[in-house]
Structure 1
């Protein structure tokens, strides 16, 4: 028996509505979606099985999106575009890239990502007098303005995530008017770069990793967060290295677990500047004449250290370390 055109139309409408619900629900953030991981210049591992990971250098030097664009270029095209970037880094136009200039460039790249991400998210919300109200954020993110405190609330199933957002919101709201300016919204989206947000970052991290809810992160919880190993496979070398890192450096008081201060030292280390370390590393690797600076020729000679191309590591950044 064939279906009537009206029946087929109703079925199509129902299918569209189901798909819209699925897409909407999948877009709602989960508690761990916004967690801040160890502050780094890239989400990629810096060292891979005791070998330096050049994909990390590419993202630190170019930013994630531009690093992927360079992966699609030929070596000749990579060098041409890299030469233009070198001219931008050499601020005083003396033909040399100093460690300071390189560090400032890397910091600029990191800030550019934060600004771009904030602008994109800011435009998605309904603003009042150039400020974002909590209820507007709730409506855009969760579909309703209702508080999740009552079981009858349509947002109750998202209570943990909303409570977490609200806690971060209050920390970012420095003037305590329950509205966020664009500057405050930066702190909300990227709390890892704001001193006054660090306690929130630490609390979120512990909540996500602390499975037995004792308020600490044990060695097993630390490892399981990075490498669940549900199949009982032999641990790779990088996991064994992380065990050593935990025991020797993360667990400062050697009680077998990380407390708040130890987690803070891990996530936002007070005495370690990633951009400074990366600039130092790039100069060490590319400074052929060992004069402490980089000429344009030295950078182009070592172009594969700074950028990718089809002839070097095309595609590796898409397949390496899926566990991260």
Structure 2
């Protein structure tokens, strides 16, 4: 055999080179052990293969079923069955988001719950664990919660759109489909919905107001057909802050309103002119102009002296950190009672109504109030 010849050559070489006996024996034993292990493995595999062949031959000869005829009989593998299960899973996921949205509202949270929530958020945002929130910590937390909300909004939009687009399933959502889904999520049964699809008599005032707001937002989001929305339009309807189309429309509106010379760019004078902008009641025109000049310099990334669409889009994008920094400054100015530049938990709780409506706590509510 080959391994024996190799072993003999090894022995002759060792003797010729006058190697010591112990290393020689060790080498011989290693060779033997290696070859024996290989033989054992080969014999095991041959035995297993033989047993498998004999077993399958016996099964074929006696026609023994390898699984029950009723196994997974409930699991419809047809195309229709697969789609049915897919729709059920999508509906379940969409219902989860809808119920979470109904339950997570902080607007009517009890005072004790507000204190508990704000305390928990304060501790999480206080990354250096010194019992104070600095501007950078507050800004970072708001930025994180903003990105979380925008990511969740995109995910929710897909599942909700797919779940609502049922009658018919045609890639668009009609107002009737959405309205039915909305009422269903608020606990109304099919018979009630059928009788009150267009007549909301008997419904709570809060739901009626929500329907009216939804109808107005629907009209703004619908670009082609006022009675139905595509998935992108549905995102603009449900979460305009996450929609690139909405942000682009805002930029176009700003340019159309402020671009006096019609060059599709905004100069510092055009951007900061109090006469073409809405000056807040708590600011003088000069104060407003100076603030807008500073804002202009922030937006003008290439320092060209004018703002183009790209710069405005990047600036208005809710993910831009300057939004978080601006809100953090506002919260700090509002709640920092001793003017030491940081916030304590007591200061936060003293202004709980301000923080509960901010992106620090409820990014969804804050965005929807803005848009």
**Alignment TM-score, normalising by the size of structure 1:** 0.37
Q: Which one has the largest radius of gyration?
A: 2
- When you count helix as a share of all residues, which structure comes out higher? 2
**Alignment TM-score, normalising by the size of structure 2:** 0.33
